[in-house]
């Protein structure tokens, strides 16, 4: 992330002025996919890539926003009817509105931002953007009175209310709470979380980007969520205490097999198994048992591909290639429908794996995948 770049662009666009500078990261997730909105566990970490924004209150009731990467400038007011059309600006607008709803007296500001989280790669570039502005507006207009969880919820509500994605809390949580060198296990029902030092000796994490852009809003993400809710409603008839799929066992699911669609059944089966896999991975990590961690990652991929059906040919191919190369663990990461696989690779295998996966992918799909080494970084913060 290049702060000087952002500062010089801000100066140029806003008459030589200087503002305050904030940053928030994208995220990875070791395991626990599509479990967040099912009240289950997730295991993300923030990365060293993210969004940097410079912001300065401008004494008006207008936000003047410049996207440095897209070279696009948008102005909007702060009332509900002022929603801008540009999708990148809707994130900022949504955050302003959600902060206002929580009692923060947001006023007009000038802002320019840039990022280095690859877009549509499943690394939560949008959460990074939301967290940056939620954190910044809290400092600049809210005297820091909104707590960190609520800031994450501001980002999530922005997705729900202004961007059409009924996402869970994982991405925004990871972006706000990230800590260098640590993964976080979050219980998405109680919102209890725990930091886990993540320094795998002899292994490294690498992302392989299929460069198939995932588009959560237009994809079947919301439909997956609906399937889960359908099954819960059915199970609740026999077990009123059940609130989320997280509370369900395979026995409970089997009881309602005749009453739910085959598709909904498969979705729920995946989630019930995935919730357990996060716990298994935490146990394995505490014992330094990376082989088990890796095996669970492969199981997640199978589940996401065959039961939850959020993979695609390119991602399945990347997963198969990782397996062929002897990579310890590999799976599609994030919402799916494109984006990256996350791979747990032995140090000595790294070079061969990267060369092989690039070669084979290019041969099959006619373009190169992108490789990102994972560095676990800090969450939302003020830089200047
Ligand atoms: C997206 C959503 C998250 C989560 C993941 C899948 O990243 O924003 O809330 O559901 O997909 O684990």
The string of pLDDT tens digits covering residues 90-100 is 999 999 999 99
> Does the pLDDT of residue 217 top 60, yes or no?
no
Q: Per residue in 126-156, pLDDT tens?
A: 999 999 999 999 999 999 999 999 999 999 9
- Paired tokens of 319: 């997963």
Please state the pTM of the whole predicted model: 0.97
Cα-trace Rg, the chain:
21
> Does the pLDDT of residue 216 top 80, yes or no?
no
CA dist 167 and 154 (Å) reads 12
Q: Which atom of ligand 1 is nearest to the CA of 37?
A: 10
| Ligand 1 binding pocket includes 168 (Cβ within 6 Å) | yes
CB atoms within 10 A of CB 191: 12
Active-site annotation holder among 110, 171, 247, 316: 171
CA dist 213 and 230 (Å) reads 28
Backbone angles phi, psi at 110, to 5 degrees: -100, 140
> Does the pLDDT of residue 214 top 80, yes or no?
no
- Paired tokens of 188: 């998405």
Partners of 27 in the β-ladder: 46
Q: Quote the Cα angle for 4-97-187, to 5°.
A: 85
| Ligand 1 binding pocket includes 36 (Cβ within 6 Å) | yes
> Does the pLDDT of residue 270 top 70, yes or no?
yes
| Ligand 1 binding pocket includes 335 (Cβ within 6 Å) | yes
| Ligand 1 binding pocket includes 275 (Cβ within 6 Å) | no
| Ligand 1 binding pocket includes 334 (Cβ within 6 Å) | yes
CA dist 44 and 376 (Å) reads 10
> Does the pLDDT of residue 220 top 90, yes or no?
no
Q: How far is the CA of 32 from the centre of ligand 1 (A)?
A: 9
CA dist 339 and 208 (Å) reads 8
* Residue count (the chain): 384
Closest by CA position to 338, among listed 306, 374, 304: 304
CATH fold match for the domains 3-198+378-382 and 203-373: no
Per DSSP bridges, beta strands 109-115 and 62-67 are parallel
Q: How far is the CA of 143 from the centre of ligand 1 (A)?
A: 30
Q: Is 171 tagged catalytic?
A: yes
* 4: confidence class by pLDDT, cuts 50, 70, 90: very high
Q: Write the residue with the smallest CA distance to atom 8 of ligand 1.
A: 167
Q: Which atom of ligand 1 is nearest to the CA of 34?
A: 12
**CATH 3.30.70.890 assigned to 203-373:** yes
CA dist 171 and 165 (Å) reads 12
Q: Per residue in 174-202, pLDDT tens?
A: 999 999 999 999 999 999 999 999 988 99
| Ligand 1 binding pocket includes 234 (Cβ within 6 Å) | no
Q: What is the structure's pLDDT at 120?
A: 85
Q: What is the structure's pLDDT at 145?
A: 97
CA dist 73 and 134 (Å) reads 20
Q: How far is the CA of 301 from the centre of ligand 1 (A)?
A: 15
> At which residue do the structure tokens 């994490």 appear?
205
The answer to whether 26 and 123 have CB atoms below 8 angstroms apart is yes
Q: Per residue in 25-74, pLDDT tens?
A: 999 999 999 999 999 999 999 999 999 999 999 999 999 999 999 999 99
Q: Per residue in 296-354, pLDDT tens?
A: 999 999 999 999 999 999 999 999 999 999 999 999 999 999 999 999 999 999 999 99
For the chain, the maximum distance between any two Cα atoms, rounded to a whole number of angstroms, is 67
Q: Which atom of ligand 1 is nearest to the CA of 29?
A: 12
| Ligand 1 binding pocket includes 170 (Cβ within 6 Å) | yes
Q: List alpha helices for 256-349, DSSP H.
A: 262-286, 290-302, 313-324
Q: Which atom of ligand 1 is nearest to the CA of 32?
A: 12
Per DSSP, 369 falls in state: P
Average confidence score pLDDT of the chain: 96
Backbone angles phi, psi at 345, to 5 degrees: -120, 135
Q: Write the residue with the smallest CA distance to atom 2 of ligand 1.
A: 167
Q: Write the residue with the smallest CA distance to atom 11 of ligand 1.
A: 335
Per DSSP, 331 falls in state: E
Pocket test for ligand 1, best of 335, 338, 340 (most atoms within 8 A of CB): 335
Q: Where are the domains of the chain?
A: 3-198+378-382, 203-373
> Does the pLDDT of residue 11 top 80, yes or no?
yes
Q: What is the mean pLDDT of residues 243-271?
A: 98
Instruction: Give residues with Cβ within 8 angstroms of 382, minimum separation 6.
Output: 20, 21, 22, 135, 136, 139
> Does the pLDDT of residue 218 top 90, yes or no?
no
CA dist 212 and 246 (Å) reads 30
Closest by CA position to 58, among listed 18, 85, 4: 18
Q: Which CATH architecture has domain 3-198+378-382?
A: 2-Layer Sandwich (3.30)
């Amino acid at each position: 992330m290049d702060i000087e770049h952002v500062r010089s662009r801000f100066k140029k666009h806003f008459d030589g002025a200087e503002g305050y500078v904030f940053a928030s990261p994208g995220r990875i997730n070791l395991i626990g996919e599509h479990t967040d909105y099912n009240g289950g566990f997730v295991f993300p970490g923030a990365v060293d890539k993210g969004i940097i924004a410079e912001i300065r209150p401008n004494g008006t009731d207008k936000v003047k926003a410049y996207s440095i990467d897209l070279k696009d400038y948008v102005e909007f007011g702060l009332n509900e009817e002022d929603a801008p059309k540009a999708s990148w600006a809707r994130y900022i607008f949504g955050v302003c509105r959600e902060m206002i709803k929580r009692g923060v007296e947001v006023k007009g500001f000038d802002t320019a931002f840039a990022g280095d989280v690859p877009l549509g790669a499943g690394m939560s570039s949008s959460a990074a953007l939301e967290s940056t502005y939620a954190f910044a507006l809290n400092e600049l207009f809210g005297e820091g009175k909104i707590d960190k969880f609520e800031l994450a919820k501001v980002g999530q509500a922005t997705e729900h209310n202004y961007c059409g994605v009924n996402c869970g809390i994982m991405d925004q949580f990871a972006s706000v709470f990230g800590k260098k060198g640590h993964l976080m296990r979050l219980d998405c029902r109680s919102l209890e979380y725990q930091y886990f030092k993540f320094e795998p000796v002899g292994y490294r994490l690498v992302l392989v980007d299929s460069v198939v852009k995932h588009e959560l809003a237009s994809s079947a993400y919301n439909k997956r969520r609906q399937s889960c809710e359908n099954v819960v409603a059915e199970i609740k008839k026999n077990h009123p205490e059940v609130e989320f799929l997280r509370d369900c066992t395979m026995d409970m699911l089997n009881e309602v097999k005749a009453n739910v669609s085959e598709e909904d059944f498969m979705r729920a089966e995946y989630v019930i198994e995935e919730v357990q896999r996060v716990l298994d991975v935490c146990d394995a990590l505490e014992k330094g048992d990376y082989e088990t961690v890796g095996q669970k990652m492969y199981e997640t991929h199978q589940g996401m591909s065959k039961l939850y059906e959020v993979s695609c040919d390119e991602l399945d191919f990347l997963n198969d290639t990782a397996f062929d190369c002897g990579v310890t663990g590999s799976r599609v990461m994030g919402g799916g429908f494109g984006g990256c696989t996350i791979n747990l690779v032995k140090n000595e295998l790294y070079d061969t794996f990267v060369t092989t996966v690039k070669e084979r992918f290019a041969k099959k799909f006619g373009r190169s995948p992108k490789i990102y080494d994972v560095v676990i970084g800090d969450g939302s913060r003020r830089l200047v």
